A and B are shown apart, each in its own frame.
Chain A
Amino acid sequence: MNILICDDDREIVEAIEIYLKAEGLGTFKAFNGREAVEAIQTGDIHLVIMDIMMPQMDGISAMLKIREQKNIPVIMLSAKSEDTDKITGLTLGADDYITKPFNPLELIARVKSQLRRYTELGGADIKSGVYKSGGLTVDDRQKTVAVDGEDIKLTPVQYKILLLLIQNKGRVFSIDEIYETVWNEMAYNSDNTVAVHIRNIREKIEINPKEPKYLKVVWGIGYKIENR
């Protein structure tokens, strides 16, 4: 497995290289967008980590060039932390977006997640009783939950909540609705049981629970799983 790291800051490139090598991954280095595009054409590369603000050719342009040729995952790495920047990057074809300064371990986790999806789960069939959202898979026949192919252990209540949400992808459930469906009782007092369970599910299925990819909080309304 070879990863292309592209950033105009050499120290960051080298640091990331150290982490990736420690995980047993091969690395290519590029210090601007043009070098990245060249490296893709010559080397055998399975994933790209790309900064946005770079000299000669910026990360977005480079990513668009790469997308013309290859379907490999691209993780954007940028100091631009605003929502609009993230949305732009993801819309134009990035598979993930990490803001600087990042936690090295989170970066590695995301890289591995993308690689698994790219290599192992690329063409998995969708069977009945199996629900998927991105890398999240809930198999209701075997009562298992997996994220990017890795099995996750959930409590029965947590499983019920997750199943409810993934069976109705995109729909927002209020706390009371979730309570009444899962516990099968009337919701009297608004205690935070559901909220705490959700938080705990996120701790298990999300790489960064504060920026959830799958189980999202709609503040003041409820919870949902993104339809994708």
Chain B
Amino acid sequence: MDTKLKTDDGTERTEGRKLKRYNIIFKAAAFILIAASAFYAIKTLIAPENPFANQFYLNDLFSETHYEETRQYYWMFDGLVRNIDTVVNYGSEQNILAGNTVSQEDINLEIQMLYDNYLERIHRTEVDHTSYYFYDYETEYYMEYSEPYYSSGRPPWERFQAEQKDEIANIKAVAVQRHLTDFRAAVSAIENNKNIKYYIYTDGEILSTGDFNEIAGGKYAYACTSYANDQKTVVSQGAFAFDEKYIESQSSEFEAVKIYVTDCIIKCAVCAAVFLLALAYLVFAAGKKSKDPHGIHHVFIDKIYSEAIAALLVLSGFAVFYTGYALFDEWFYRKFTYALYGLSVLLAVSLLLVIARQVKSRALLKNTAVFILLRGICRFLSRFIFKPVKKLYEAGSPMVKTFVIIAVLGLLTAVPFAFVITLPPALIFAYRQIMKYAAVKNGVKSIKSGVYEKIEVKGSGEFALLAADINDISAGLGTEVERRLKSERLKTELIVNVSHDIKTPLTSIITYADLLKNEDVENEAARKYINVISSKAGRLKTLTDDLFDAAKASSGNIAVNFEDVDINALVTQGLGELDDKIKASSLDFKVSIPNKKLTARADGRLLWRVFENLLSNVFKYSLTGSRVYINVFGDERSVNIEVKNISAQELNIPEDEITERFKRGDSSRHSEGSGLGLDIAKSLMLCQNGELTIKIDGDLFKAALKIPKSTPKVG
């Protein structure tokens, strides 16, 4: 029952060799190898067929090469030496019974020990401590000082002597008895040892299996002699020597055990290597399948919580340890123990593989009960607390949002030291909101300057909604502006093309009308008609030219050559140019030009066109005999030309419409003129960064030109 939890987006690189790498047979073989190596290792270690394994210390087996260097030999030798010494020192049973072996120092020492014990006992039960403090000048502290206080008042030594009189009297007898026991045990230990030759001389009696000198000169021997006060008379003497054959047999046994143990260790190492290799393979192959070498496949057991798996793994580890340990000294149910051992090894490996699979699919943490529990809690909180609050927040107006934020912050401030948790997210929140606000602000600024870029604000907050609305508006504005520009351009193009096309036939009309005039036409009426055609053709020419100019000027498609223009000179020049017309008209020109030179930044030729248009209007529309005022004056930033005249006709159009194309002072359109003069003038002024304003006050018509002042050159 495989459960495929996760599969890499398999680029199917299924080569033949890879196919077999995760074969089930390989895995089974690895399992068998693990079980076999674990089993063989333990079997080798407990070694039931090796009867001498326990005789030697493992340390000696590894570090010593000769039997004589082993601890076993040393302790055996040392025990015999102590026995010989005991026998020689005590001399004989008579000597001990005579009390010669117990000195007065020994007895005093024994009494002292008894007394110490006694003191300790009464201190525990009877003694009160009276303590007082004194000032220690050295350490500058008050120290506690206490001394024992014996409630009975009688000195303890006397009490001890009285109470333990019997024990004190018996000390010597007990010591003699102990020495006697020791002496006898030593003699019997020497006598009973089959592996040695010995020689003991005490109290004139010789216990021996050989000659003293021969024994003392042996290869593995020890000798000891006690002399009388004259330093010559032998009181007692002892010696022993190991049977050389015995040592040889022990030596060869040691060698055999050593070889056997080394062999064991090699076997165990091989087993361990096999075990680890097989385990490594299984860990590597865990979850992989030959058919799909890149995916991680899980079995049902993988769904168990990771903690349970880990706990079971620890338990099975203990089981392996305990069953293995039990096999060393438990001889009952041996087969059953073996079975338990094998099972726990396999269980541990299987559990390890479960963890390996979970690690591979990065599911180890996700599969822990703690994680699942926390996730459940989080989901519960998000579903029943955070989401409703969020919903309330998002659905609400800015007022509601502010309320929610303040309420939450208020609640949090009630918790002591909550700022540690609340401050970082609050700062991040504030930073993000400020960044969003800045994005919206910059976006609006760029829209204001005519760049219709989209404002990017992520999320679904207030600023994102605002940005989306602004984006909609700017998109609409952008397309509208584009559409307007396009239609304006098309209109201009149309006018330019049409005026071109009109000019050619118009040329013929003008020319032939002129030719007709020169013919001898008898008929008076015909002559009159020819004149009408000629004059109207001329008017058509003016109209076409003006229309063309208007279209060019308003599209801004005109070369502007900025220079410093002397406005006084320009007005003077203009009035000079039109001098004949001024003189021919009945108008009275009142010109006011300051003596101070006024220079403006403009294109003189275009400015003249504007001025000429204004004056031409004056000639066309002024009331006969009225005065015309032309004022030139400068202010801080600009130079101004004002033209004021009295209209002959009633001005019945609003000021803001008079500069529109084809508008004329008389709505009946009887007078000459194209109705484009002011439109051209206005467009040309805009091209030069200037401005033309028209004011109408009753019959007073006032046109004002405002031209930027030229910046004075330094030096």
Write the residues of chain A forming the contact surface with B, with a CB cutoff of 8 angstroms.
9, 11-12, 15-16, 18-19, 22, 79-84, 99-105, 174-175, 189-199, 217-222
Contact between A12 and B508, CB atoms less than 8 A apart: yes
Contact between A219 and B605, CB atoms less than 8 A apart: yes
Residue of chain A at shortest CB distance from B537 = A101
- Hey, which chain A residues are within 8 Å of B510, CB to CB? 101-104
**A191 CA / B579 CA spacing, docked (Å):** 11
Contact between A11 and B508, CB atoms less than 8 A apart: yes
**A100 CA / B503 CA spacing, docked (Å):** 6
Extra contacts, 18 of them, besides A9-B508, A190-B569 (Cβ < 8 A), are A9-B504, A12-B504, A15-B508, A79-B500, A79-B504, A81-B503, A83-B559, A84-B559, A100-B503, A100-B506, A190-B593, A195-B576, A199-B576, A217-B573, A219-B570, A220-B604, A221-B566, A221-B604
Contact between A175 and B508, CB atoms less than 8 A apart: no
Could you list some 21 contacts between A and B, CB below 8 A? A15-B508, A15-B511, A22-B518, A101-B541, A105-B514, A175-B572, A190-B569, A190-B572, A192-B572, A192-B579, A195-B574, A199-B576, A199-B577, A199-B580, A219-B573, A219-B605, A220-B563, A220-B565, A220-B604, A220-B608, A222-B569
Residue of chain A at shortest CB distance from B576 = A195
**A67 CA / B70 CA spacing, docked (Å):** 131
Contact between B595 and A189, CB atoms less than 8 A apart: yes
Contact between A192 and B575, CB atoms less than 8 A apart: yes
- Set B506, B537, B545, B576: member contacting A198, Cβ < 8 A: B576
**A19 CA / B515 CA spacing, docked (Å):** 8
Interface size on B, residues (CB 8 A): 42
Residue of chain A at shortest CB distance from B573 = A195
- Hey, which chain A residues are within 8 Å of B559, CB to CB? 83-84
Contact between A199 and B579, CB atoms less than 8 A apart: yes
Contact between B576 and A192, CB atoms less than 8 A apart: yes
- Hey, which chain B residues are within 8 Å of A189, CB to CB? 595
Residue of chain B at shortest CB distance from A210 = B577
Most A CB atoms within 10 A — which of B506, B512, B548, B572? B572
- Hey, which chain B residues are within 8 Å of A219, CB to CB? 565, 570, 573, 604-605, 607-608
Contact between A100 and B504, CB atoms less than 8 A apart: yes
Residue of chain B at shortest CB distance from A99 = B503
Q: How far is the CB of A135 from chain B (nearest CB, A)?
A: 23
Most B CB atoms within 10 A — which of A79, A189, A198? A79
Q: Which 9 residue pairs across A and B have the least CB separation, nearest first?
A: A195-B576, A219-B604, A220-B565, A220-B604, A220-B570, A192-B576, A79-B503, A15-B511, A101-B507
CB neighbors of A among B501-538 (8 A): 503-504, 506-512, 514-515, 518, 537
**A80 CA / B552 CA spacing, docked (Å):** 13
- Hey, which chain B residues are within 8 Å of A195, CB to CB? 572-577, 579
Contact between B569 and A175, CB atoms less than 8 A apart: yes
Contact between A101 and B572, CB atoms less than 8 A apart: no
**A191 CA / B575 CA spacing, docked (Å):** 9
Residue of chain A at shortest CB distance from B552 = A82
**A194 CA / B504 CA spacing, docked (Å):** 39
Residue of chain B at shortest CB distance from A8 = B504
Q: How far is the CB of A187 from chain B (nearest CB, A)?
A: 10
Q: How far is the CB of A2 from chain B (nearest CB, A)?
A: 21
- Hey, which chain A residues are within 8 Å of B579, CB to CB? 192, 195-196, 199
**A193 CA / B579 CA spacing, docked (Å):** 9
Is B567 in the interface zone, CB < 8 Å from A? yes
Known: A175-B569, A219-B604. A16 touches B508 (CB 8 A): no
Is B279 in the interface zone, CB < 8 Å from A? no
- Hey, which chain A residues are within 8 Å of B500, CB to CB? 79-80
Q: How far is the CB of A22 from chain B (nearest CB, A)?
A: 8
Residue of chain B at shortest CB distance from A22 = B518
- Hey, which chain A residues are within 8 Å of B602, CB to CB? 220
Contact between A175 and B573, CB atoms less than 8 A apart: yes
**A219 CA / B607 CA spacing, docked (Å):** 8
**A44 CA / B572 CA spacing, docked (Å):** 50
Q: How far is the CB of A185 from chain B (nearest CB, A)?
A: 16
- Set A12, A99, A193, A199: member contacting B511, Cβ < 8 A: A12
